[in-house]
Structure 1
Amino acid sequence: MLETIVNFLNALLWGKLLVYGLVGAGLYFTVRLGFIQLTYFKHSIKVMTISRQGCDSGLSSFQVFCTSMAARVGAGNMAGVAVAIGAAGPGAVFWMWVIAVLGMATAMVESTLAQVYKVRDNDGQFRGGPSYYMEKGLGQRWMGVLFAFFLIIAFGLVFNAVQANTITGAMERVFGLDPTYVGIGLVIASGFVIIGGLRKVARVSEFIVPIMALAYILVAFIIVIFNIEQLPAIISLIVKSAFGWQEAAAGGVAYTVAQAMQAGIARGLFSNEAGMGSAANVAASASPNPNHPASQGFVQMMGVFVDTIVICTATAAIILLSGDIGSSDDGIRLTINAMSSHVGDWGEHLLRWRSSYSVLHLS
């Protein structure tokens, strides 16, 4: 009975409501802002270069960027991409790219609004997010309360379970560790960081996230270089599968355009979280440089780009170049096996370390 309810809600949310709602919002913001993710892309990079400067009353934009990336870079980038490719073929990657471009505009808006309606708490730090601008901007306090309630449920009981499942799966696959002990270790390790408050989470994120992301991207880049002759065929396969031009892929399995779109859009939205309001909460805590609400919007817009266009693409390249598209393994195991096929056993340790840090986003 419970499984039936969960499956029904999952199909309703990810098959209809969230996909149409968030894609529609992304399209609307993209058009109204004059394709800001393209026209102001260079400006976003420029803002990122000075984002480490902040003030004593808040976190720097770069610290907030790293903290939000700790939320984005996790199960969605590794297991999620593998699941999407396995369920709907290589074409899902193309639709991930599309939703990332639209999501950049959404992230710009929600993070800018978080800055506009942020407040200072008793400790002198800033806080805000969708609940605040629903109350102060729309004048709908009930809506803000409802959003906060559902966000607590989602991140307190659901998102952490997904991330923890990915981490324990990686640890079990690489080291053969009991998931129970891995879970206990995650609670203790993350507790040491979270107990120090948002500033400590931000400081740890600022140090670890760039290393974590750059190391993974570097390995993916090396894999692509060593398989450069296959790259044109892989890109062609992604595009053809996205539009149904590739009649058979992954060992003769045919995929429809609808499958590719649904899997790619859903996994893209889950990965970059644009429009879900989670990244906007931490975006409100920043003291951006230049001191303007839009500055944080530009920084968070780049977060979506790095998460999906860069890191998810890196995972897709690792999997597709391995040729193991039709594997029956679950997401994280498929990614680990693909990495191992390219670089050997040490690749497993890299993925295990990278997935483990994502638990910090639960703070």
Structure 2
Amino acid sequence: MPEFFSFISEILWGSLMLYLLLAAGIWFAFQSKFVPFRLFGDFYHNLKNSRAQSGGLTSYQALFLSLAGRMGSGNIAGVALAILAGGPGALFWMWVCAFIGMATCFAEATLAQLYKERDTHQRFRGGPAWYMARGLGMRWMGVLFSVFLLVVYGLLFNTIQANAVVHAVRYAWDIPETWTGMLLAGLLLLLISGGLRRIARFMQYAVPVVAIAWVAMSIGVGVAHFSQVPGAIIAIIKGAFGWQEAAAGTMGYTLSQALTSGFQRSMYSNEAGMGSTPNAAAAAASSPPHPAAQGFVQIIGVVIDTFIVCSASALVLLLANITPTENNFNGIQIMQQSIVALTGPWGSGYVAAIIFMFAFNSIAINYVYAQNNLVFLRLNSRRNRWLLRVGIVLMIMVGSQLRLTMFWYTADVIMAFMAITNLTAILLLSPVVNVVASDYLRQRKLGLTPVFDPKRYPDIERQLAPGAWDERSGV
């Protein structure tokens, strides 16, 4: 059975998803009149003007919620495995995929903001399930998406994060996996029991601190081994286009490996088009009050995740040039060995601590996304929230004890189905993205602060939740 799911996963992620996500990104770049790239700097103004408002998180909080979900153990272990599989050139194709994915991220975040609604506590809720139900009139599609997300983010992915953490800690400090798993589960239960606002407040401080700590370490390593940096850059460029292997007659295969590995890692990491981060984008009370404003805020998450954090991991690996053996063919251990080779024995513990925080933040946001979709399914009772929390704790403990490849391949397959469902929805809603992006661009050209007025677009206004975009909404 694991072989079957591995085969299906390879088909989905090795070809279908790669072409689908690339096509979607290029399509939305044209549909939005290249607004995400032309007005990229607007993310700064939208973040700077972000403030706490009735019913919504700040744009800053929403950004770091989505970043916490993006930045998990895969930003370290996954990058290591991508470079091992595709060579240094895989990093170049990660950048290309992320650049194209920025347009898709803009589209799904904008739609999530547009079709958000208030829950019973007057907090904003939204995401792919909502724009499927309101924008397309296909609630059944939203239900299907929500079920996929609950299985993958609510349960299966947490085993992967937990497994990476316990092995990193065991390698660094020889602490038994059970103890690390219990600590991780206990701390997470304390955090997620406090609800969305407690998690958002924690993430707005924790995520930048951990990201800066990791990037600063990479920069420090780069400075200490500066003479090797030009060679690493040259290896990335040559590997991206197969120039190193052309003379040996293996150019085609190596180029394909670099491209595929880079695209797959980038898709997993920045999650553009997957339908996860719109759940965070919808929770914001956007400032300025326009759906596209949150689109700009969220694309900076792609930049930080791939161009900065993943690149920091890649630099360490390329400078260390560790050759994997059968005993260390594990992304986390390869990274720990690389840091030790470049900095000394303390580096192993440093990586373990960073991995612990990345995984901790990621699992907490997995809960936020899953609980958000319980709201859509009208199952957000106190009992069901606690069942979800208990399920997360159990998955952490299972993942800390066992390496369940069957779970992981299943998660890959279901995540592909989730992404296909989301991409289908946003492609069908691309005319709406075009209207909203054009409205934002029109107001910016007039020198105005963009404000979304649904009355200008009666067809869209009929689809919106009452009170989401009127003067009483607090946005």
How large is the RMSD of aligned CA atoms in angstroms? Answer: 1.9
* Distance in structure 1 (CA, Å) of the matches to 2:355 and 2:299: 23
Q: 2:306 aligns with which of 305, 308, 311?
A: 308
Contact 1:85 1:325 (8 Å CA) reproduced: no
> 1:330 aligned to 2:330?
yes
> 1:122 aligned to 2:126?
no
* Distance in structure 2 (CA, Å) of the matches to 1:336 and 1:50: 40
Contact 1:126 1:284 (8 Å CA) reproduced: yes
Moved over 4 A (4+): 252-255, 325-328
Q: CA deviation at 1:183?
A: 1.8
> 1:44 aligned to 2:43?
yes
Q: Which amino acid aligns with 2:331?
A: G
Q: 1:272 aligns with which of 270, 279, 283?
A: 270
Listed as ranges, the matches of 1:234-249 within 5 Å are 234-247=232-245
Aligned to 2:99: 101
* Distance in structure 2 (CA, Å) of the matches to 1:37 and 1:173: 43
Aligned to 1:205: 203
> 1:78 aligned to 2:82?
no
**Cα distance change, pair 228–244 in 1 and its aligned pair in 2 (3 A):** same
TM-score between the two structures when normalised by the length of structure 1: 0.94
Give 3-state SS (helix, strand or coil) of 1:256's partner: helix
> 1:18 aligned to 2:17?
yes
What do the CA deviations read for 1:299-349 (whole angstroms, capped 9, x no partner)? 110001000000000000011011215555310111111122222233223
Contact 1:223 1:342 (8 Å CA) reproduced: yes
* Distance in structure 1 (CA, Å) of the matches to 2:64 and 2:348: 24
Aligned to 1:354: 354
> 1:5 aligned to 2:4?
yes
Give 3-state SS (helix, strand or coil) of 2:312's partner: helix
What do the CA deviations read for 1:149-198 (whole angstroms, capped 9, x no partner)? 11111112322122112111211111112222222222111010000111
**Cα distance change, pair 36–325 in 1 and its aligned pair in 2 (3 A):** farther
What do the CA deviations read for 1:35-70 (whole angstroms, capped 9, x no partner)? 34432222223323333x131321111111111111
What do the CA deviations read for 1:220-247 (whole angstroms, capped 9, x no partner)? 1111122222222211111111111111
Q: Which amino acid aligns with 1:103?
A: G
Comparing 278-287 with 218-227, which one deviates more in the overlay? 218-227
Contact 2:75 2:313 (8 Å CA) reproduced: yes
Aligned to 1:187: 185
Q: Which amino acid aligns with 2:205?
A: F
Listed as ranges, the matches of 1:25-64 within 5 Å are 25-51=24-50, 53-64=51-62
Q: Which amino acid aligns with 2:59?
A: S
Q: CA deviation at 1:253?
A: 12
* Distance in structure 1 (CA, Å) of the matches to 2:323 and 2:306: 19
Contact 1:241 1:255 (8 Å CA) reproduced: no
* Distance in structure 2 (CA, Å) of the matches to 1:61 and 1:353: 28
Aligned to 1:293: 291
Unaligned runs of 5+ in 2: 368-475
Q: Which amino acid aligns with 1:200?
A: R
* Distance in structure 1 (CA, Å) of the matches to 2:170 and 2:366: 21
> 1:226 aligned to 2:224?
yes
* Distance in structure 2 (CA, Å) of the matches to 1:262 and 1:199: 38
Contact 1:72 1:272 (8 Å CA) reproduced: yes
* Distance in structure 2 (CA, Å) of the matches to 1:43 and 1:325: 43
What do the CA deviations read for 1:267-305 (whole angstroms, capped 9, x no partner)? 100011111111101111111221211111111100010
Percent identity reads 41
Give 3-state SS (helix, strand or coil) of 2:2's partner: helix
* Distance in structure 1 (CA, Å) of the matches to 2:33 and 2:330: 40
Give 3-state SS (helix, strand or coil) of 1:58's partner: coil
**Cα distance change, pair 293–351 in 1 and its aligned pair in 2 (3 A):** same
Contact 2:95 2:306 (8 Å CA) reproduced: yes
Comparing 29-38 with 167-176, which one deviates more in the overlay? 29-38
TM-score between the two structures when normalised by the length of structure 2: 0.72
* Distance in structure 1 (CA, Å) of the matches to 2:76 and 2:192: 24
Q: CA deviation at 1:135?
A: 0.8
Q: Which amino acid aligns with 2:319?
A: L
Contact 1:110 1:277 (8 Å CA) reproduced: yes
Aligned to 1:155: 153
**Cα distance change, pair 31–227 in 1 and its aligned pair in 2 (3 A):** farther
* Distance in structure 2 (CA, Å) of the matches to 1:311 and 1:92: 15
* Distance in structure 1 (CA, Å) of the matches to 2:259 and 2:251: 17
What do the CA deviations read for 1:15-41 (whole angstroms, capped 9, x no partner)? 122212112111111232243443222
> 1:69 aligned to 2:67?
yes
* Number of positions where the alignment pairs a residue of Structure 1 with one of Structure 2: 358
Unaligned runs of 5+ in 1: none
**Cα distance change, pair 233–36 in 1 and its aligned pair in 2 (3 A):** farther
Contact 1:88 1:255 (8 Å CA) reproduced: no
Contact 2:46 2:59 (8 Å CA) reproduced: no
Q: CA deviation at 1:361?
A: 2.5
Comparing 196-205 with 23-32, which one deviates more in the overlay? 23-32
Q: Which amino acid aligns with 1:141?
A: R
Q: CA deviation at 1:254?
A: 10
Give 3-state SS (helix, strand or coil) of 2:46's partner: helix
Q: CA deviation at 1:78?
A: 0.3
Comparing 143-152 with 156-165, which one deviates more in the overlay? 156-165
* Distance in structure 2 (CA, Å) of the matches to 1:271 and 1:81: 9
Q: Which amino acid aligns with 2:226?
A: I
* Distance in structure 2 (CA, Å) of the matches to 1:72 and 1:54: 23
Q: CA deviation at 1:3?
A: 1.2
* Distance in structure 2 (CA, Å) of the matches to 1:343 and 1:55: 46
**Cα distance change, pair 23–345 in 1 and its aligned pair in 2 (3 A):** same
